Structure 1
Amino acid sequence: MNDMRTVVFATAVAISCSILYLVWRKRRCMSNWKEVAIVDKLFIHPVKSCRGISVDNFVATEKNVMLSNSDIGDRTFMMVHEYGRFATIRQFPQMVLIKASIIGINKLRLEAPGMRAFEIEIPIHGSGKVLNYKVWGTRCPGVDCGDEAAAWLAEFTGVNTARLVFHNKQLPSREGTKLLEFGHLGVYSETTTKSTFQDYSPFNLVSQASVDLLNTKLDSDHQVTERNFRPNVLLKGCLAFAEDSWKRIKIGSAEFVFAKHCTRCHVTTVNPETGIKDEDLNTLKTLSTFRMCKPEERPLYGIAPKFSVDFVNIKPGEISVGDKVYLFEDDNN
């Protein structure tokens, strides 16, 4: 009997110790997350290179940012022209004036100055011609949205070969594997990114403080907003360029790891409200005076200035305006 009591007591002690250890470990792990910012605005750009829409929340997935209960997400549509090449703002700056609204689960509404509004049902899987379209060196499949959508785009842009294509959930993602040298972050790894029609990463963020600091260096005629940089997330409550040094973050129920700094081009010089490009490239030239990469980072970033950060999703989840942003602080740091 005494032996049985001893066994029961020892078992109870072992279970208690295990529970205490798990509680301690959970609290220790939670203590590694430090609040660093707050989500100020969220954006989805349904059609690549067209105007983004401000939303209250979205779902971050492995390969995209999606509206809740919708098959439409960030850059799930793309305008292509001759030989299936994707249309860029640098080529057609007036594209930033095309507003794409999402109606329900599967309908897209296009509006632009001087144009009739146009609505299109998104192609369901298997309903249209699927082709592979090249986006910055890698290919991604898309379904052609038909002649009416093509005619609408052609009328507004003046590009007779314009077509609208859609990437639905059933199609494979666009993958890019690259040796990423993260410079001052001290991370060197072979990383695979999954995306649709985004340039590189399906998740881009910038802080309002970074935008404000840039504006202090621009004259009053060339002030910019976050829309010049087309992010998914605008942050507040942190210092300018604090986001540059974040390796792993948590927002809402989603988690992300750093992918790369986002390099900038002529797109930043197009006024998102007028569609007019600044031929003097003031924004780009100013960024080049203080946002160039270090020499050791040049194989990855080249000679373009950096502004905003691309992240890769490692835990899908929902993000809402007002959510706190937490930075994971490794014990080894």
Structure 2
Amino acid sequence: MTAAPLLLTDLYIYPVKSLGGIRLTEAEVEPRGLRHDRRWLIVNDRNQFMTQRQTAAMAHLRVAPAYNGFLLSHQQRPELLPLFVPFVGTPEKTLFASIWDDMVFAWRARPECDEWLTEALGQPCKLVYMSDMVRRDVEPERNPEGQLVSFADGYPFLLIGRESLAELNGRLAQPVGMDRFRPNLVFSGGAAFAEDNWEQFQVGDLAFRAVRACGRCVFTTIDQHTARKSPDGEPLRTLATYRAQGSHVMFGQNVTGPGKGKLRVGASLTVNTRKG
């Protein structure tokens, strides 16, 4: 029996870190990842980055594509009219924002964006943009190519196979969606967790490198439709029974890319080299 070919089935960008994604049929590849992916960030009144890890209510905020930008809306508060945000910010006002161990020079959004988010999330916050002038590197010890990253946690791309999610869901009483794991690239074909041992691979004619597995956190326990945390810790609890490496639970691969090009859903994947 011939194995099913490896195919790119889904492309996602997340214009604002930790908010909802936009599914695309094609996407431009840039030095920091897919164009418009995680170039905006919400920070608190101390200019520290905010995510659903600490503020699960961020899952209530929906992101929809619009001309040259996107619309933010609150799924439970229709009185908050949708807010338009352009894909690219402007340098009228700036600040330094902290994300993990990095301090990043950022451009501030319009005041009405801060006001809308403050009302939507019930706490003071600001919206900031990463310009092309900013250099934020992938972790140096694993980054001989000098790859850059946006406001993503650490890498420009996250890759997950559909079979990996299907295998996990086969172990769960209540299946979860791929949105719990926030990939950029989703593929079909191959065995569950086949991506674990990939190293150099191609999507169409573009070359990528799977650097290391992605450690997962409490984010995966938040229902992206209700903003509620799973009371039984799923799916993280089940993942920990068979996907633990030391103190970390792994799902998906952190990936670096070619810096430019175009990806299209339906493109074939070819594995050129494997780890170890």
Does the TM-score normalized on the shorter chain lie above 0.5?
Answer: yes
Matches within 5 A, 1:99-248: 99-105=62-68, 107-113=69-75, 114=77, 115-121=80-86, 124-126=89-91, 128-159=92-123, 161-169=124-132, 171-180=133-142, 192-220=146-174, 223-248=175-200
Greater share of helix residues, 1 or 2? Answer: 1
> Which amino acid in structure 1 is aligned with residue 72 of structure 2?
L
Q: Distance in 2 between matches of 1:190 and 1:321?
A: 29
Structure 1 stretches lacking a partner, 5+ long: 1-34, 67-72, 181-188
- The answer as to 2:47 corresponding to 1:78 is no
SS of structure 1 residue aligned to 2:266: coil
Point out which structure has higher relative CO (alpha carbons under 8 A, 6+ apart). Answer: 2
The answer on whether the counterparts of 2:89 and 2:129 sit within 8 Å (CA) in structure 1 is: no
> Which amino acid in structure 2 is aligned with residue 135 of structure 1?
I
TM-score (norm 2): 0.91
Structure 1 residues 115-167: Cα deviation after superposition (integer angstroms, max 9, x where no partner) = 211113466543x22222221112222211022101111111111x2101112
Give the Å deviation of 1:317: 1.4
Residue in 1 aligned with 2:31?
Answer: 62
Give the Å deviation of 1:108: 3.0
Structure 1 residues 256-295: Cα deviation after superposition (integer angstroms, max 9, x where no partner) = 11222110000000011211111321211111100012xx
| RMSD (Å), alpha carbons | 2.1
Structure 1 residues 174-211: Cα deviation after superposition (integer angstroms, max 9, x where no partner) = 1144334xxxxxxxx75644111000101111011000
Residue in 1 aligned with 2:212?
Answer: 260
Total equivalences in the alignment: 270
SS of structure 2 residue aligned to 1:152: helix
- Percent identity, aligned pairs only, is 25
Q: Distance in 2 between matches of 1:261 and 1:140?
A: 25
Q: Distance in 2 between matches of 1:134 and 1:252?
A: 36
SS of structure 2 residue aligned to 1:156: helix
Residue in 1 aligned with 2:265?
Answer: 321
